[in-house]
A = this chain, B = another copy of it.
C-alpha cells in the first residue's frame, strides 16, 4: 500500500488565555506513513480510534519551566491524552494485531510504540462502543469513582453539591451520590444541562449563569460534601454554606485555568467548620480502586444502569476546537474526538 497521511495535532504556542485552534494548536498533515512496511523494531503499530479531551489538558499547555504534576507539552510536538486504539501490526511480546488498547495516546492518527507504559489491553466482552473506555469507563469515570470512594464518606440523608454536574465526572458523581441516599444539588451552564442533571436524579439542578450559587446553597444547604470542579467564587459560596465537618473534594478549578488561578478569600471557614478539603489526582488512586472500578461499573454501564453521554467531535482535525469548547464549557457532554473506525 502507498503511504498515507498521518495527521497530527501539534502544540504550537503557549496560550496566555484560552487555547486557540490554529494558533496554540495546529492540525498538521505533513507526515506520511506506510502502514504495511514501516519498521517496528520490536514494537507495534497503533491506529488511534478515539481521543479524550479533558479540562486538565490546559495545564500541560504551559511554559516547561513551570513545574506541575504532569509534564508540559513540548512546543512543535503532538500533544497527548487518553485514547483508545487498535493494534495494526506487532512484533511486541503479548501484543497482537486486533488488540484494543486504552491509555495515553499521542494526538496523531498512527503511532509506533515500543513499550506498554501507560497502556493497557481493553477487554470488551459486552461490545460497548470504544469511546466508552475514555468516558464513563475511562479517566473521567475513574475520577468520579475513586474520589467518591476515597474522600466522600457519605451518610444517607446528607447533602452534596457538585459543580459542572453535567460533565463526564459530575454526572457520575450525581449518580453515585443518589445511590448512597444523598440529596444532590448540581450546577451547570445551560438549561439543557440542567434538564440532563435532573434526569440523572439531581434533586436541585440550576444554571449558574442565570441563578446565584450562594442563594441556592443558602436555601437548599447547608452542604455536607462539595465536589468541586470550578474553584473561585463557587468554592467560596460552598465554604460559606458548608456544615461542620463537611468534606470538600477538589477535583478541578476550571475558573482559574485560563487566568493563573482565582483567589479564595474565606478559607478561615475551613477552621471554623472543621472542613476537610482533599485535592486529588485520579492516577494516584489507580492502584487502590482500578480493579474494583471495572468490576463494578462495567456491568452497570452495559445494562444501562449508569447514564452517560458523549459529545462527539468527528475527525482529529477537530481536536483544537474540542479543547477550546471544554475550557469554555461549550461541549454538551464528555468531549470525544472520533479519529477513525475500527
Residues of A within 8 A of B (CB): 59, 68-69, 231, 235, 244-245, 250-253, 256-257, 260-281, 284
Contacts and interface: CB of A to CB of B under 8 A. Distances in A.
Copies in the complex: 2
Given A264-B263, A265-B262, A265-B263, A253 B272 contact: no
Nearest to A70: B272
Contact of A253 (B68, B263, B267, B278): B267
Contacts of A275: 278-279
A109 to B, nearest CB: 31
A250 B231 contact: no
Nearest to A252: B271
Contacts of A277: 270, 276-279
A149 B280 CA distance: 23
A245 B69 CA distance: 12
Contacts of A250: 267, 270-271
A266 B261 contact: yes
A227 B152 CA distance: 24
A257 B270 CA distance: 14
Contacts of A68: 272
29 contacts: A59-B272, A68-B272, A69-B272, A69-B273, A231-B267, A231-B268, A250-B267, A250-B271, A251-B271, A253-B271, A257-B268, A260-B265, A261-B265, A261-B266, A261-B267, A262-B265, A263-B263, A263-B264, A263-B265, A264-B267, A270-B277, A271-B279, A272-B279, A274-B279, A274-B281, A274-B284, A276-B276, A276-B277, A277-B277
A274 B279 CA distance: 5
A316 to B, nearest CB: 28
Nearest to A276: B278
A234 to B, nearest CB: 12
Closest 6 CB pairs of A and B: A270-B279, A263-B263, A271-B279, A69-B272, A277-B277, A263-B265
Contacts of A273: 69, 279
Given A252-B271, A257-B268, A276-B277, 5 more contacts: A250-B270, A251-B271, A263-B263, A264-B267, A271-B280
A251 B270 CA distance: 9
B280 A274 contact: yes
A50 to B, nearest CB: 26
Nearest to A248: B277
B268 A261 contact: yes
